[in-house]
Amino acid sequence: MANSKYEYVKSFEVEDKLMPSTWIVVRIDGRHFHQFSDEHEFEKPNDKQALELMNSCAEALLEEFKDVVFAYGVSDEYSFLFKKTSEFYQRRASKIVSILVSFFSSLYVMKWKTFFPLKELKTIPCFDARAICYPSTKIVRDYFSWRQVDCHINNQYNTCFWMLIKSGKTKREAQDLLKGTQTPEKNEILFQLGINYNELPAMFRKGSCVFRDKGEEIVKYNQDGDPVKRLRTKVGTVHRDIIGDTFWREHPEILSD
């Protein structure tokens, strides 16, 4: 087809290919979720249903996009890791970022009723997103450690803060009490309020990891009524420590090239 005289406008489009042979992380983050969680009366500091909705969206995303090998989520954010060799949309940043964030946002709306059958979705959930390239598995590990440390620090602070409020302190008093405290002091405050931090749900303390894992699946039952099983890769969510080596040693396929 002959070019029209307008075709030249295409030359204004810039190349935005992500560096080859690097791990791509796309991190999405809820826009104004402080407000969104208030409007929808999320439990403070952690709303189990809201977090499970996020996890369910992340699982569906991994089912759809096979190049995404791992995801880590906490609060209103999720990080998605593409395998190093991915050629998804020729590694074009804007395509990758926009597809992932719009897919996730649509899922969030579609699945809302399943997780909040009695709550109307009052405002539009919206997420920002960015893509970052990491050149080595060490840095990828450090990236996820950074997010999990953040999860721990925020969750411990928020748990203390809201427990102090529940015990009758004002927001100002709670803030002043927590100023400059380290982990052991916060644990002590919680202990005195009758809470053992380590017994809180792992999803709150450690965040959520989504990946493909091998599991057994019942295909049918034979004539004796015994199950016939086969191995199958299934996307699932766990709440584990990802700072130490154990998790990664148990799942070497995630970071293998």
Q: Quick check: 79 binds ligand GTP (CB under 6 A)?
A: no
Residue list 171-200, contact with Mg ion (CB under 5 A) = none
- The residues, any chain, with a CB within 8 Å of residue 96's CB and separated by 6 or more, are 18, 24, 26, 82, 88, 89, 131
Instruction: Annotate each residue in 90-119 with x if it binds Mg ion (CB under 5 A) or - if it does not, as one string.
Output: ------------------------------
Q: Quick check: 31 binds ligand GTP (CB under 6 A)?
A: yes
Binding part of the chain for Mg ion, among 7-15, 27-35, 168-176, 235-243 by CB under 5 A, reads: 27-35
91 vs 147 by CB, closer to Mg ion: 147
To the question of whether residue 34 is assigned a binding role by annotation, the answer is: yes
Helices and strands counted in the chain (H then E): 9, 6
CB 92 within 8 A of CB 70: no
Residue list 40-79, contact with Mg ion (CB under 5 A) = 76
Detail the DSSP E strand segments found in the chain.
23-30, 68-74, 77-82, 127-134, 208-221, 227-238
Q: Please give the structure tokens belonging to residue 69.
A: 């090998």
Q: Quick check: 33 binds Mg ion (CB under 5 A)?
A: yes
Give the count of residues interacting with ligand GTP (CB under 6 A).
17
- Residues marked as binding for GTP? 29-34, 75-76
